[in-house]
Amino acid sequence: MSVFETGSESATAAGARDWRRVAYLVHVSRALDHLEETVLVPAKKVAYQFSARGHDLGQVLLGLRLTDRHDGVCGYYRSRPMLLSLGVPLEEALGSSMARAGGYSDGRDIGVVFNYPNPDGPSALPMCGGVGSQYTPTAGWAQAIEYRSSRLGDPAFASAMGVVLGGDASVATNGFWSALTIATTQRLPMLFYIEDNGYGISVPSVYQTPGGDIAANLASFSGLHVLHGDGTEPAEAVRLIDEAVAHVRGRRGPCLLRLRVPRLEGHSFQDTQTYKSPEVVAAEWARDPLPKLEAFCVPALMSLAEWQAIADRAAADVAAALHSADARPVAEPDTVTSFVFSDATPQKKGGLRGEGVTLPTGDTTPRPEGTRLNMVTAIRRVLDHELTVNPRMVVFGEDVGPKGGVHAVTLGLQEKHGIARVFDTSLSEEGIVGRAVGMALAGLLPVPEIQFRKYADPAVEQINDCGTLRWRTHNRFAAPMVLRMPVGFFKSGDPWHSQTNEVQFVHAPGWKVAVPSNAEDAVGLLRSALRGDDPVMFLEHRAMLDASWARRPYPGDAYVLPFGQAKITMPGRDLTIVTWGAMVERAEEAAKQVVAAGTHSVEVIDLRTLMPWDRETVLASVARTRRCLVVHEDLRTAGFGAEVVATVAEEAFMHLDAPVVRLTMPDVPSPHNAVLLDAVVPSVARIRAKIDALLEF
């Protein structure tokens, strides 16, 4: 349903509202902007400054309507008035802008990138620096609210909602459209609050949306309640905001509210707005909501003296906050490497641990049972068991439901555990991973699937943002998840389905990366990931999913394999092979040929995880064998093998009797024809040849 509203109301008809609180917060926002622009930026105490003038009234009115302690709101760089209305202390806001210790990030992130794990009320979800990246995590939060209310039966979530703020330029992003699809198809309790100031930095909104009006374009969007109006008129803005919030809280589906507001200063402090004519600038200042708020309140709701007293108190409070914020030190430099991954200190919000929920630690000793299983069956069995014991776990992705996944890993799981827990998604990897972030922030354990490694590319922004989330919020928030992804060749290759490129995820701070080569390791690593407290990239090699060599007996429902523990799959004395994934089988076969020749023996190490990776086992082996060959399927240049080679050369150089050597694919995409594929992927024969050459060196 679409509704387009305009009009005006008197102060009396605007309903019960603490307009003195509204006036105070708007004045505080203005005072903060003025202080930064005139003092802190020129003094180089604030590096990034984005004025909220013109946007402030609407945000304050909305923020004061977010009263449920499970409401979650995700803003963007011009959303400080919203944060203030949620109760963020002024010294926190200023100290964060000044990059001092404490605050939003302990000085790790720019001060306009907000978060607020509110213990007593609505939380501000960790925003990101990328435009549009706030939408899909908010959709995930809204879906988690629905799940915890309807599936887990928690009445505390019955009226909670997710709210996302965005400017008119952000509605052109993939994140906006993906979240819109998620929210409307799932009828989620989500409010899209669009502040349309007519510009994306210097680009007019007509370049972002046909006609420059996203509300008009979405008038017939199924399942979406649409409202729009003037965000500078107090009575009109409050009426529309109240209607939007009531619609979402009443579980009548998502709502999009577009309010027209002026951007009274440049995009940022450095932006001089030379792209605007003097007439445009004057017209925008004529729409300043602060004088309109004064006219609305005085004399109908307060005297002029009261209004001035509120402004004076706001200025005094900001001055006092500056004194406190400026006294804060810079964080100790030796702490900057903390909280990349979880440690003994739990995050304030996000994941199971953030809510005090613990899972069994498991058993590190495998207890084999039954016949040998392929990796597909082994992974499915772990997912099935963990879904059974952990009601907060959900599995989702494209085709994971009735079809059971394109590789059959989730076959039968939806039938057993229900559509709320194992479900299909729209075709948007941005939406899959972004939704998982929001779910994790809301206390669920999301297990999303990306069908093939190459398909993860549209989700790279969300992947990177998720990995840095704990670090950049200084352990205030975390978003643990297990992202499953098939990689590598299978019978044939191609540039779209056969990529490995695991090094990209190793190079993304905050992600753990597992690359099991067989069913037993897949069981242990997956269960370890599902019971952990970090984002994990779980890479399932397509060639090994049903390979005979990779089959192993099931090691038990309690078996966990800690990350960072390599395995010596074949002991040897004359050369060390370091490898992982599908190359382990080929390395072992080449090593067996050397042993069969009767002159040498070769040690094969399966790293099993690349982040973290077991440097100690590799270095100890090389110290014994004095030779090292690294074999991997990924491309040669800047592949993970280069990291292993560099570490061996740097830390075991004096032990070496030969150069450290790599055998990899050349720097070409995976070819489709099987003959061409065999020509580029390391083969047993080429591994054997490298071994012989190193032994003869």
- Write the DSSP assignment of 360-375 as a string of letters: ---BSS---EEEEE-H
Beta strands 567-570 and 602-606: pairing type? antiparallel
Q: Whole-angstrom Cα distance, residue 253 to residue 184?
A: 7
* Residues near 519 by beta carbon (within 8 Å), at least 6 away in sequence: 372, 373, 374, 375, 377, 378, 550, 551, 552, 554
Which residue's entry shows tokens 């206390």?
443
Q: Whole-angstrom Cα distance, residue 114 to residue 120?
A: 18
- For the chain, what is the mean pLDDT? 95
More confident residue, 226 or 599: 226
In DSSP notation, 148-191 reads IIIIS--GGGTT--EEEEEEGGGGGSHHHHHHHHHHHHHT-SEE
Q: Is the bond preceding 291 in cis, omega lying within 30 degrees of 0?
A: no
Please state the rounded mean pLDDT for residues 419-438. Answer: 97
C-beta separation of 212 from 204 below 8 A: yes
Q: Is the pLDDT of residue 142 over 70?
A: yes
Q: At what angle do helices 304-326 and 90-97 cross, to 10 degrees?
A: 50
Predicted pLDDT at 7: 34
In DSSP notation, 242-284 reads HHHHHHHHTTS--EEEEEE----S-SSTT---TTS-HHHHHHH
Q: Whole-angstrom Cα distance, residue 613 to residue 609?
A: 6
The SS3 call for residue 195 is: strand
C-beta separation of 161 from 202 below 8 A: no
Q: Which helix (H) or strand (E) holds 661?
A: strand 661-665
Closest Cα partner for 322 from 601, 577, 31, 637? 31
DSSP classification of residue 418: -
Q: How confident is the model at residue 290 (pLDDT cuts 50, 70, 90)?
A: very high
Task: Let me know if 312 is exposed, middle or buried by CB neighbors in 10 A (0-12, 13-18, 19+).
Answer: exposed
Give the global pTM.
Answer: 0.95
DSSP classification of residue 37: I
C-beta separation of 598 from 636 below 8 A: no
Q: Whole-angstrom Cα distance, residue 429 to residue 450?
A: 7
Predicted pLDDT at 70: 97
* Residue 187: other Cβ atoms inside 10 A: 14
* Residues near 159 by beta carbon (within 8 Å), at least 6 away in sequence: 68, 249
Q: Is the pLDDT of residue 273 over 50?
A: yes
Q: How confident is the model at residue 13 (pLDDT cuts 50, 70, 90)?
A: very low
Q: Whole-angstrom Cα distance, residue 319 to residue 91?
A: 10
Give CA separation, 41 vs 79, 119, 207, 640, in Å. 19, 32, 31, 42
Closest Cα partner for 531 from 387, 653, 661? 387
Predicted pLDDT at 119: 83
Predicted pLDDT at 8: 39
Predicted pLDDT at 1: 34
The per-residue pLDDT for range 477-528, each reduced to its tens digit, is 999 999 999 999 998 999 999 999 999 999 999 999 999 999 999 999 999 9
Predicted pLDDT at 491: 86
Predicted pLDDT at 16: 58
Give CA separation, 628 vs 606, 653, 694, in Å. 13, 11, 8
Q: Whole-angstrom Cα distance, residue 80 to residue 213?
A: 24
Q: Whole-angstrom Cα distance, residue 510 to residue 206?
A: 38
Q: Whole-angstrom Cα distance, residue 498 to residue 665?
A: 12
Q: What is the torsional sign of CA 130, 134, 137, 140?
A: negative
Helices then strands, each counted (H, E), the chain: 22, 22
* Residue 13: other Cβ atoms inside 10 A: 9
The SS3 call for residue 478 is: coil
The per-residue pLDDT for range 364-408, each reduced to its tens digit, is 999 999 899 999 999 999 999 999 999 999 999 999 999 999 999
The per-residue pLDDT for range 678-691, each reduced to its tens digit, is 999 999 999 999 99
Give the percent of the chain with pLDDT over 90. Answer: 95
Which of 355-369, 527-541, 654-668 is predicted with the least confidence, judged by mean pLDDT?
355-369
C-beta separation of 92 from 451 below 8 A: no
Beta strands 203-204 and 162-167: pairing type? unpaired
Predicted pLDDT at 599: 85
C-beta separation of 401 from 422 below 8 A: yes
Q: Is the pLDDT of residue 4 over 60?
A: no
C-beta separation of 194 from 239 below 8 A: no
* Residues near 209 by beta carbon (within 8 Å), at least 6 away in sequence: 168, 171, 172, 217
Q: Whole-angstrom Cα distance, residue 209 to residue 225?
A: 19
Closest Cα partner for 110 from 461, 468, 460, 437? 468
Please state the rounded mean pLDDT for residues 221-242. Answer: 97
Please state the rounded mean pLDDT for residues 114-123. Answer: 92
Q: How far apart are the first and last CA of the chain?
A: 76
Q: Which residues are catalytic?
A: 497
Predicted pLDDT at 14: 53
Q: What angle do CA 282, 283, 284 make, to 5 degrees?
A: 90
Please state the length of the chain.
Answer: 697
Query: What are the phi and psi torsion angles at 173 (to 5°)?
Result: -85, 160
Q: Is the pLDDT of residue 629 over 60?
A: yes
